[in-house]
């Protein structure tokens, strides 16, 4: 069985490997078990590959729009296979970096599939079976794509996201099932690559989990670009007809047939708990999600869970922080996970980013709120970039002025949101954001102006009488 470890981490994604490295730096004896590639879905098939392709789409858009800046390209070509090759090189470099960091921090990496035999015992089935003994276990096994509930559809007719990041030829047309953050990013990529894209979203609009204004802004922008959005709709069936896929889409009591060359499933992901031995170990789950407290500990002492397998917020950076919290507690420290200031970033064009409460959530909590908005059409920096679409929205409490939430639509929104993350994390008030001197001209000035607008003091938009939003 070997030497007893302080922590065995199951899963080498952005939650698991961060927990392992952090635990090792705190002086713990750590073993990490990973059945496939280090970095998990995020690095190998999700966050990093999609952002590499989205950046390719950004460059492609810049070339197409260069004439407006006085730069002429008489002709150019786009090679998706070459873009995918670049994506693979980025993934390989980052994965090698993770491997090196684990090694340099003294983390033992074991290849194989792990299951929990009991608290303190983990079996690994790899080239040879091994039983690991440990004081603590952290489950970080991530999630997997869910299957669409289709009637009479032959297996293989619908592509998943793992396949979508490795296409070698741009599809002539693509139907995407799911208008959440994964679906809209793939829609953005392939529309800019040249596909005719249709999104089918079961709820009433794109980005249904986000602030309504953000989702509506994205939907308007997509539709202006020619992306068709079928909201309040579901995919019922997919079948082949004359070398195309004939997709049956149901909207209310109406059926529609949509012809496309490719169908991509971007519906919800499911926690990877099957075969982990949770029931044997007595770990409590709800709808396949592992239940934890704010210390990331399960109902079984010494067993923790983090990331997508917990299902609170399926974001890589949240998993990383959860991993740090879990391993700190496993090593005897006292740490709590705070979800108030977890940023939510979508890397489309325009980008969308948010943190804290949406307007709808604030109202549901009974908060009396005031809202400040600033359009990028009034931003000097946005106009110099040729990116005038978008806005910043600040939601603050009326009584104390505390910043409850911020949403940004526009260029570099995913970078700009960090200021709001810090503001909410340190419990800043809206006056703090309004009074902070922002460099001019920058996109971040829009956050300052939105905060000023919440106070009725915005400089670069017409005055308005500030009114608390309805409860």
**Does any domain span residue 469?**
no
Among 228, 246, 267, the domain-final residue is 267
- Quick one: pLDDT at residue 470? 47
Residues in the chain: 471
Which helix or strand (DSSP H or E) is residue 433 part of? helix 430-435
**Does any domain span residue 80?**
yes
Same domain, 196 and 311: no
Same domain, 238 and 299: no
- Quick one: pLDDT at residue 2? 73
CA angle (292, 298, 304) in 5-degree steps: 95
- Strands laid side by side in the 173-177 sheet: 228-231, 196-201, 173-177, 262-265
**Does any domain span residue 378?**
yes
Cα gap 384→390, rounded to integer Å: 14
Cα gap 210→417, rounded to integer Å: 15
- Quick one: pLDDT at residue 101? 97
Same domain, 122 and 28: yes
pTM of the full structure: 0.94
Provide the domain limits for residue 200: 161-267
247-300 confidence digits (pLDDT tens): 999 999 999 999 999 999 999 899 999 999 999 999 999 988 999 999 999 999
Cα gap 374→358, rounded to integer Å: 16
Same domain, 138 and 10: yes
- CATH code of the domain covering residue 83: 3.50.50.60
91-112 confidence digits (pLDDT tens): 999 999 999 999 999 999 999 9
Same domain, 137 and 198: no
Same domain, 43 and 128: yes
Which helix or strand (DSSP H or E) is residue 125 part of? strand 121-125
**Does any domain span residue 151?**
no
Beta bridge partners of 258: 247
pLDDT for 219 beyond 50 = yes
- Average pLDDT score over residue span 186-215: 96
Same domain, 202 and 315: no
Percent of the chain with pLDDT over 90: 91
- CATH code of the domain covering residue 387: 3.30.390.30
Whether residue 456 contacts residue 371, with contact meaning beta carbons closer than 8 Å, is answered with no
Whether residue 213 contacts residue 343, with contact meaning beta carbons closer than 8 Å, is answered with no
* Residue 440: active-site member: yes
pLDDT for 463 beyond 90 = no
Same domain, 14 and 139: yes
Cα gap 267→222, rounded to integer Å: 19
- Average pLDDT score over residue span 146-163: 85
Same domain, 140 and 280: yes
- Quick one: pLDDT at residue 469? 52
* Active-site residue, selected from the candidate residues 22, 92, 284, 440: 440
The number of domains in the chain is: 3
- Average pLDDT score over residue span 302-331: 97
Same domain, 305 and 375: no
356-395 confidence digits (pLDDT tens): 999 999 999 999 999 999 999 999 999 999 999 999 999 9
- Quick one: pLDDT at residue 175? 98
Most confident of 158-162, 386-390, 418-422: 418-422
Q: What is the dihedral of CA 101, 103, 107, 112, to 10 degrees?
A: 100
114 vs 242, more confident: 114
156 vs 382, more confident: 382
3-62 confidence digits (pLDDT tens): 899 999 999 999 999 999 999 999 999 999 999 999 999 999 999 999 999 999 999 999
61-100 confidence digits (pLDDT tens): 999 999 999 999 888 999 999 999 999 999 999 999 999 9
Which helix or strand (DSSP H or E) is residue 430 part of? helix 430-435
Among 267, 297, 321, the domain-final residue is 267
**Does any domain span residue 383?**
yes
Query: pLDDT tier at 155 (50, 70, 90 boundaries)?
Result: confident
Same domain, 165 and 235: yes
CA angle (182, 268, 197) in 5-degree steps: 45
**Does any domain span residue 337?**
no
pLDDT for 398 beyond 60 = yes
Same domain, 171 and 232: yes
Strand segments (E) across 321-463: 344-346, 351-356, 369-375, 391-397, 403-410
**Does any domain span residue 139?**
yes
pLDDT for 126 beyond 90 = no
Cα gap 82→98, rounded to integer Å: 25
Cα gap 299→302, rounded to integer Å: 9
- Average pLDDT score over residue span 160-183: 96
**Does any domain span residue 87?**
yes
Q: Lowest-pLDDT range, 137-141, 437-441, 459-463? A: 459-463
């Amino acid at each position: 069985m070997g030497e007893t470890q302080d922590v065995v981490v199951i899963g080498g994604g952005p939650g698991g490997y961060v927990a392992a490295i952090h635990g090792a730096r705190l002086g713990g004896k750590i073993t990490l078990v990973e059945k496939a590639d280090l970095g998990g879905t995020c690095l190998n098939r999700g966050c990093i590959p999609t952002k590499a392709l989205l950046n390719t789409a950004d460059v492609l858009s810049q070339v197409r729009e260069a004439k407006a800046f006085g730069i002429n390209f008489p002709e150019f070509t786009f090679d998706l296979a070459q873009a995918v090759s670049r994506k693979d090189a980025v993934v390989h470099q980052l994965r090698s970096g993770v491997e090196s960091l684990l090694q340099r921090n003294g983390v033992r990496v074991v290849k194989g599939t792990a299951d929990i035999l009991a608290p303190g015992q983990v079996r690994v089935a790899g080239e040879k079976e091994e039983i690991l003994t440990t004081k603590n276990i952290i489950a970080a096994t991530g999630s997997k794509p869910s299957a669409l509930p289709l009637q009479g559809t032959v297996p293989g007719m619908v592509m998943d996201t793992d396949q979508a990041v490795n296409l070698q030829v741009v599809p002539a047309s693509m139907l995407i099932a799911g208008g959440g953050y994964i679906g809209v990013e793939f829609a953005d990529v392939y529309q800019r690559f040249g596909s005719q894209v249709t999104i089918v979203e079961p709820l009433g609009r794109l980005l249904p989990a986000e602030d309504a204004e953000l989702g509506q802004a994205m939907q308007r922008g997509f539709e202006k670009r020619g992306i068709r959005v079928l909201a309040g709709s579901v995919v019922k069936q997919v079948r082949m007809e004359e070398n195309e896929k004939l997709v049956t889409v149901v909207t209310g009591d109406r059926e529609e047939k949509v012809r496309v060359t490719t169908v991509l499933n971007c519906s919800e992901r499911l926690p990877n708990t099957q075969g982990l031995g949770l029931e044997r170990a007595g770990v409590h789950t709800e709808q396949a999600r592992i239940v934890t407290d704010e210390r990331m500990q399960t109902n079984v002492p010494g067993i923790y869970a983090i990331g997508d397998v917990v299902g609170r917020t399926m974001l890589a950076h949240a998993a990383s922080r959860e991993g740090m919290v879990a391993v700190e507690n496993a090593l005897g420290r006292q740490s709590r996970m705070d979800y108030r200031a977890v940023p939510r970033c979508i890397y489309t064009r325009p980008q969308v980013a948010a943190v804290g409460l949406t307007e709808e959530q604030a109202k549901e909590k009974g908060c009396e709120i005031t809202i400040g908005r600033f359009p990028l059409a009034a931003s000097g920096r946005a106009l110099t970039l040729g990116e005038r679409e978008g806005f910043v929205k600040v939601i603050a409490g009326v009584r104390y002025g505390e910043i409850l939430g911020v949403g940004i639509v526009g260029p570099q929104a995913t970078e700009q949101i960090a200021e709001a993350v810090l503001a909410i994390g340190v419990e800043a008030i809206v006056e703090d954001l309004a009074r902070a001197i922002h460099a001019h001209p920058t996109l971040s000035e829009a956050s300052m102006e939105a905060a000023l607008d919440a106070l009725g003091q915005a400089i670069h938009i017409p005055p308005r009488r500030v009114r608390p939003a309805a409860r």
